[in-house]
Amino acid sequence: MFAELVSGGCSDYSIVFEPGRNSGLAASRESGVTLYVKQEQLKKFKNIVIDYRENLSGGGFFVEGNNIQVSSCGNCFSIKGTGEK
């Protein structure tokens, strides 16, 4: 799966996932799924936890981490303390 940070949404960034695409650097592997990211974005993914959760309403990806501020909409965030956008 390929993940890319894009500007915008309800905060500075959101993550777009593209299943089946394996270009970029392998950043993580869990439960048989490898997450690939662009080399220039690898540093921004550091210390971000991407989790997939399911419930009776469906499922989705959630992000959390010590160096990010997740927005109230739940799928967008800003990176704290770096001055980066």
pLDDT digits (tens, 9 = 90+) for 61-78: 888 888 889 888 767 899
Predicted confidence (pLDDT) at residue 12 exceeds the cutoff of 60? yes
Asked if residue 4 has pLDDT above 70, the reply is yes
Asked if 42 and 28 count as a contact pair (C-beta separation under 8 A), the reply is no
Task: Yes or no: say if 68 and 80 are a contact pair by the CB < 8 Å rule.
Answer: yes
pTM of the model: 0.73
CATH pick for 2-79 out of 3.40.1640.10, 2.60.300.12, 3.20.20.70, 3.40.50.620:
2.60.300.12
CB 15 within 8 A of CB 50: yes
73/49: higher pLDDT: 49
pLDDT value, residue 52: 82
What's the Cα-to-Cα distance from 62 to each of 27, 34, 39, 49, 52, rounded to whole Å? 17, 17, 22, 8, 6
